[in-house]
């Protein structure tokens, strides 16, 4: 099951990164991006089993790295455990993403410390690329595509129903547009409403 999920993660991150990077110059909320996907294994039903399959000692795992991204160019691979960003220990994806986004946007680079399966930690420098803000995440058991204004969540079921990348990209781009246009913030502020047309 886990190898299958990793394949879906890679596909989602690859399509999402291409969209986010291509539209970076058009996004008001663009950031420096790295092109990797993080997941908190501690939130899975069987975290110990997931760590064992991946061969890592921590819960904060790199579960996907899109081809040609700054993360891949830095030598980061799926299955590594993220230990720290710029020397500060990270325990959850949100804080790790926030710290990377801030460093890549402000300085153009970040240093991340990782531990590969059964290896000592190592530090690598990532040079970010401008991309629309958006963190891609795979959903399991909830057939939907949605966003909370920052995280773009797409279910395994929907990805599986769209084997052509062009079809999947259309669905992912729709959710990325909500993020780029800051619809969540505008909804919260009352400056945007969803209207049902009958």
pLDDT at position 198, please? Answer: 30
Per-residue pLDDT tens for 86-96? 999 998 999 99
Closest to 175 in 3D by CA, of 11, 9, 15 = 15
Q: Which residues contact 156 (CB under 8 A, 6 or more apart)?
A: 5, 8, 138, 139, 140
Q: Indicate the pLDDT class of residue 22, thresholds 50, 70 and 90.
A: very high
DSSP 8-state assignment for residue 42: G
CA distance 123 to 164: 37
DSSP 8-state assignment for residue 175: H
Per-residue pLDDT tens for 29-72? 899 999 999 999 888 888 888 888 878 888 899 999 999 999 99
- The answer to whether the beta carbons of residues 153 and 145 sit under 8 Å apart is yes
Cα atoms in the 13 Å half-sphere on the side-chain side of 190: 0
């Amino acid at each position: 099951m886990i190898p299958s999920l990793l394949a879906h993660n890679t596909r989602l991150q690859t399509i999402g990164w291409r969209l986010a990077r291509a539209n970076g110059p058009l996004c008001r909320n663009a950031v420096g991006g790295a092109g990797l996907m993080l997941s908190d294994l501690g939130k899975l039903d069987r975290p110990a089993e997931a760590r064992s399959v991946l061969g890592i000692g921590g819960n904060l795992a790199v579960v996907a790295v899109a081809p040609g991204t700054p993360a891949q160019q830095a030598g980061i691979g799926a299955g590594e455990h993220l230990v720290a960003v710029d020397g500060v220990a990270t325990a959850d994806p949100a804080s790790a993403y926030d710290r990377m986004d801030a460093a890549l946007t402000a300085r153009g680079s970040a240093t991340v410390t990782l531990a590969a399966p059964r290896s000592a930690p190592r530090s690598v420098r990532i040079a970010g690329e401008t991309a629309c803000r958006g963190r891609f995440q795979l959903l399991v058991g909830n057939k939907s595509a949605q966003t909370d204004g920052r995280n773009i969540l797409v279910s395994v079921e929907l990805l599986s129903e769209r084997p052509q990348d062009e079809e999947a990209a259309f669905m992912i781009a729709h959710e990325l547009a909500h993020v780029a246009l800051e619809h969540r913030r505008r909804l919260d502020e009352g400056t945007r409403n969803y209207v049902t047309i009958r």
